[in-house]
Amino acid sequence: MNFRDGFLSDLIGRPVVIEESGRRIVVGKIGDFVVGHPEDTFPRIDAIAVKTKTGDKLAPLSSVIDYADGQVLLRETPTVACPPDDETLYLVEDLLDKQIVDVDGRKVVRINDLELAQTAGALRVVAADIGAGGLLRRLTAGKIFTSLVERVPRTLIAWDNVAPLHDLNPSEIKLSVSEHRLARLHPSDLAEIISDLSAADAARVVGSLDDETAADAFEHLDSDTTRAIIADLGNERAADIIE
């Protein structure tokens, strides 16, 4: 695949083709990308979810011959049905428009696009675009106002500085970062982030931390926020943190 680097929005919706008798036949379009190991520092993309007339099908990235002229050429028609959402990570479905924590910037942000690049022998997610340019890129799909999008400054966060705000239970984690990145923050910074979240998201973040880090953050939260988090955490976990 000759796609070296770019953005997720550059690829979504592009025709997927195969060659038969010297002709290129469209078999569907790119609907999403699948990551099998989201815990990696820079997650590797393992497959393409192709929207076909008979449903979403999986095409391993190894089956991609070329990306050129706005099309993706496959070795053969994809036939395997895509796995359910709860069994794998889909970049569009699970990440775009979702909230994350910018660990270095110490703030809650939203993913507007994802930067992809060929590195370490694979196509990987390398950064989150949280700026207006990412949103414009998705809205225009590279078809119009291209020069305008290129003039908008990029606001990128390297993926190893990203922490998710959902599915932070270690037994269910789907995204690439676990609690240790949030634990890098000073308790007062962590408390400020938690205060900006909904009660459910705040409880998920606190629930992902070790007891000592959570207790330090609690010391910087107001009493109403603390009570709401404790109510969502449950008595047993809350008691461990308070102790």
* Domain definitions of the chain by residue range: 5-92, 178-243
**What are the angstrom distances between the C-alpha of 177 and each of 11, 86, 168?**
24, 17, 9
CA distance 30 to 32: 6
* Residue 235 confidence (pLDDT): 77
Residues 91-124: tens digit of each pLDDT: 999 888 887 776 665 567 788 899 998 887 889 9
Give 147's pLDDT tier (boundaries 50, 70, 90): low
CATH number of the domain located at residue range(s) 5-92 in this protein: 2.30.30.240
Tell me the two tokens of residue 198. 């909904």
pLDDT over threshold 70, residue 159: yes
Residues 14-59: tens digit of each pLDDT: 999 999 888 999 999 999 999 988 878 888 999 999 999 999 999 9
Give 150's pLDDT tier (boundaries 50, 70, 90): low
List own/partner pairs for 102-107 with CB under 8 A and 24 or more apart.
102/130, 102/157, 102/161, 102/162, 103/161, 103/162, 103/163, 103/181, 103/182, 103/184, 103/185, 104/157, 104/161, 105/157, 106/185, 106/189, 106/192, 106/193, 107/193, 107/196
